[in-house]
Amino acid sequence: MARYALKRVLLLIPTLILVTFIVFMLMRIIPGDAVDYLVQVLQSSSGGKTIDREAVEVMLGLDKPLLTQYFIWLNDLLHGDLGDSFFMTGTVSSIISYEMPATLELVILTFLLTTVISIPLGLLCAARQDTITDNVIRVISVIMMSVPVFWIATLILVYPAVWWGYAPPMTYVSFFEAPIQNLRMFFIPALLGAITSAGGQLRNVRTLTLEVMRQDYIRTAWSKGIKERMILLKHAFRNTMIPVITMLGGSIGYLLGGSVILETMFNIPGIGQQLTTSLGMRDYPMVQGCILLISVIAMVINLIVDLLYKAVDPRVEIE
Amino acid sequence: MQDTVLSVQHLSTSFFTDEGELKAVDDISYDVHQGEFVALIGESGSGKSVSALSILRLVGDPPGKIVGGKVLFHDTDLLQISDKEMQEVRGSKISMIFQEPATALNPVMTIGNQIAEPLRVHKKMSKQQAFREAASLLSKMKIPNVEQRIKQYPMEFSGGMQQRAMIAMAMSCQPEILIADEPTTALDVTVQAQVLEELNQLRLSTNTAILLITHNLGLVARYADSVKIMYGGRILEMGSTYDIFENPHHPYTLGLIRAVPRLDQPKSYGLHTIKGEPASQEDRMMNNCLFVKRCKYATDICWKQQPKAEEISEGHMCACFHADFTAAEREELLR
């Protein structure tokens, strides 16, 4: 098991190198240029003075050949240096390390709520297949899946404010400083995120459970005189969990990518917000740093999911 | 005969699909006595498995539904009791083993856990007690290294060992009846014989009645006390093993016996088959003999009426208008 984990971690290295290359090149391929933008900004701030384009290029290190730039970045990366932001004061790592906790907290909370909503409801639907309970939950799940998150978020922000004069707190405090205040800020956006992703997940849990309930070993369990509840929880659940883990693990990537909307609407200083702003300004080092970090998180989660298989399914042979 | 433990009376089970009602089991009746070895024989689709599943009310509903009859276990009609009462019968009084041990055992639960489960549910044993009992059951089934084996998962067992574990599980609460649905079909021929022999030994030592569903006539001739021949959801002929193999009357039974290849026959004898196809749903819906299309003795009456089961000798029933006509073939076959 430990050897397998080590092997998987080592395998992450080539993947990581590939990711750095793609991230770096993607930024250069997209139209628009950080230099143009910076020249514009400098011109307007200096009251119309002509700015030397080439000087700006040299300043940002963009005058060198593309591959040289890539290797400089890679070299710095190996030394733990993600570079400096083009437009903001501070290094990329300092900005990211300030913003990452908020995003991670939002994603983790959303993920936990998604799991807590989708697994029990999915099981309930499967146990009560084609009854009113099942149908009602399924209809609600379709609504959950199809309503855009920004729309419910708008309603939640506007109506309580109008009716009761209540608005969710909008000032960020770290969880470790003031946990209750922090959770009051994060709970609503996390719940909204969970509602949109739990709709699909609970339908998957339902389908997968029904699939398992048709298996021969479930019929065996019935023939042993075991109660329905125990069959569902003891015999079916672990078998259902094998594909469910893959699904839920995979959803974390989407949650990371989708966090930007909720971060923006609820004023959470997270990496999603940072990424969109930096992309708009073509802040190469910033965008590269953010995407790299998100990729690493996604890779680590995939690794955890793979290792979890062994815990759930004894048939998975790990060597 | 000893006491009757199970009496199936006019049992009918149908499947309801978009195309309408499909009769899987149509008005079958038979008794199982204490410690008796009963064989239910028939080709694929003859309703033998469904009739057995119906006894334990394990037919998937929907689409399956038991539409009529009684299943008397001692004096209780199993079709009338509540789900909760039925759960107390399953695995405790009547248990079942299945065709494919590889899929019938839960892949993510240890063997010990699965065998201990009925003991914990029905006998209210503690975890340690149930595991100790499970270990002793497994070693009775001639599985070596029980202490170690009990912690393993089904995939670590061979097919024969999986089926032995299934048997240990089914026999754990000393049921009065064990339903074995083609228990050896998925196994090697050599393992088949061993497993069935062990099953039979277990029956003799515990006095559990066995209802064996199979299409292996060799096994039946060797172990069974009585035999029911099923065709198209009905029982065409039933009687003691002697009646069926030494004095068969129904043309279908004769055909089945003729189809078993024998070493003492000359090569020129060849392999015999029963021509035609199994009874279709249309055949089952019509009021004629189910076997009529494939029967060489068929006459007008066979197309117009359903033959009633008639007693040939005590306990030997045959549903055929022309049971007498088969005398010549019987003579020839058993010579």
- Contact residues, B window 45-74, toward A, CB-based 8 Å cutoff: 56, 58
A157: enclosing H helix or E strand: helix A149-164
Residue A209: which pLDDT band, with cuts at 50, 70 and 90? very high
List CB contacts (< 8 A) between B170 and chain A.
223
At residue A121, does pLDDT exceed 90?
yes
A229 touches chain B (CB under 8 A): no
Helix H, strand E, coil C: the string for chain B is CCCEEEEEEEEEEEEEECCEEEEEEEEEEEEEECCCEEEEECCCCCCHHHHHHHHCCCCCCCCEEEEEEEEEECCEECCCCCHHHHHHHECCCEEEECCCHHHHCCCCCCHHHHHHHHHHHHCCCCHHHHHHHHHHHHHHCCCCCHHHHCCCCHHHCCHHHHHHHHHHHHHCCCCCEEEEECCCCCCCHHHHHHHHHHHHHHHHHHCCEEEEEECCHHHHHHHCCEEEEEECCEEEEEEEHHHHHHCCCCHHHHHHHHHCCCCCCCHHHCCCCCCCCCCCHHHHHCCCCCCHHHCCCCCHHHHHCCCCCEEEECCEEECCCCHHHHHHHHHHHHC
Give the pLDDT mean for A287-313.
85
Task: Answer with the residue of higher pLDDT: A32 or B30.
Answer: B30
Give the pLDDT mean for A32-42.
78
Instruction: State pLDDT tens for residues B118-172.
Output: 999 898 888 898 999 899 988 888 888 888 899 999 999 988 899 999 999 999 8
Choose among B93, B103, B112: nearest CA to B169: B112
Mutation site for A-interface testing, chosen from B85, B86, B94, B109 by largest number of A Cβ within 10 Å: B109
At residue A31, does pLDDT exceed 80?
no
Instruction: State pLDDT tens for residues A171-190.
Output: 777 777 878 888 888 888 89
Of B92, B106, B155, the CB nearest to A235: B106
Of A215, A223, A314, the CB nearest to B58: A223
Residue A85: which pLDDT band, with cuts at 50, 70 and 90? confident
- For chains A and B, CB pairs below 8 A equal 73
Report CB contact under 8 Å: B108, A312.
Answer: yes
Mutation site for B-interface testing, chosen from A215, A217, A218, A224 by largest number of B Cβ within 10 Å: A224
Q: Looking at CA atoms only, how far is residue B1 from chain A in angstroms?
A: 28
A217 touches chain B (CB under 8 A): yes
Residue B335: which pLDDT band, with cuts at 50, 70 and 90? low
Which residues are bridge partners to B212 per DSSP?
Answer: B39, B180
List CB contacts (< 8 A) between A236 and chain B.
none
Give the pLDDT mean for A44-66.
78
A229: enclosing H helix or E strand: helix A228-230
What is the per-residue pLDDT for A118?
Answer: 92
What global pTM score does this model have? 0.80
* Contact between B71 and B10 (Cβ < 8 Å): no
Give the pLDDT mean for B283-304.
81
What is the per-residue pLDDT for A50?
Answer: 74
- What count of Cα atoms within 13 Å lies in the side-chain half-sphere of residue B228? 26
Give the pLDDT mean for B305-320.
85
Q: Looking at CA atoms only, how far is residue B206 from chain A in angstroms?
A: 19
Report CB contact under 8 Å: B107, A313.
Answer: yes
B90 touches chain A (CB under 8 A): yes
If you measure CA to CA, which chain B residue comes closest to A220? B104
If you measure CA to CA, which chain B residue comes closest to A238? B108
B105 touches chain A (CB under 8 A): yes
* Contact between A266 and A185 (Cβ < 8 Å): yes
Alpha carbons A92 and A36: distance in angstroms, whole number: 21
B82 touches chain A (CB under 8 A): no
Which residues are bridge partners to B72 per DSSP?
Answer: B7, B77
Amino acid at the residue B94: I
For chain B, give every domain's residue range: 106-171, 249-334
The alpha carbon dihedral of B176, B181, B187, B193 has a sign of positive
Amino acid at the residue B317: M
Choose among B228, B234, B200, B201: nearest CA to B214: B228
If you measure CA to CA, which chain B residue comes closest to A240? B108
A239 touches chain B (CB under 8 A): yes
Give the pLDDT mean for A53-76.
83
What is the per-residue pLDDT for A243?
Answer: 87
Cβ neighbours of residue B194 closer than 8 Å, sequence gap 6 or more: B160
Report CB contact under 8 Å: A225, B153.
Answer: no
Amino acid at the residue B334: L
List CB contacts (< 8 A) between A235 and chain B.
106, 109
Cβ neighbours of residue A116 closer than 8 Å, sequence gap 6 or more: none
- What count of Cα atoms within 13 Å lies in the side-chain half-sphere of residue B164? 27
Give the pLDDT mean for B6-19.
89
What is the per-residue pLDDT for A123?
Answer: 92
Report CB contact under 8 Å: B104, A222.
Answer: no
Report CB contact under 8 Å: A223, B96.
Answer: yes
Task: Answer with the residue of higher pLDDT: B175 or A44.
Answer: B175
A224 touches chain B (CB under 8 A): yes
Instruction: State pLDDT tens for residues B252-270.
Output: 888 888 888 877 777 777 7
Of B88, B89, B105, the CB nearest to A220: B105
Mutation site for B-interface testing, chosen from A214, A217, A317 by largest number of B Cβ within 10 Å: A217
Of A125-139, A228-242, B184-198, the poorest mean pLDDT is in B184-198
Of A219, A226, A315, the CB nearest to B121: A226
Give the pLDDT mean for B312-333.
81
Residue A318: which pLDDT band, with cuts at 50, 70 and 90? low
At residue B2, does pLDDT exceed 70?
no
A129 touches chain B (CB under 8 A): no
Of B91, B98, B106, the CB nearest to A225: B91
CATH architecture label of A100-312:
Orthogonal Bundle (1.10)
For chain A, give every domain's residue range: 100-312
Give the pLDDT mean for B76-82.
89
List CB contacts (< 8 A) between A314 and chain B.
107-108, 153, 155
Q: Give me chain A's average pLDDT, please.
A: 85
What is the per-residue pLDDT for A250?
Answer: 82
Report CB contact under 8 Å: A223, B90.
Answer: yes
At residue B248, does pLDDT exceed 80?
yes
If you measure CA to CA, which chain A residue comes closest to B175? A224
Residue B55: which pLDDT band, with cuts at 50, 70 and 90? very high
What percent of chain B shows pLDDT beyond 70?
Answer: 99
A315 touches chain B (CB under 8 A): yes
Give the pLDDT mean for A295-299.
87
B155 touches chain A (CB under 8 A): yes
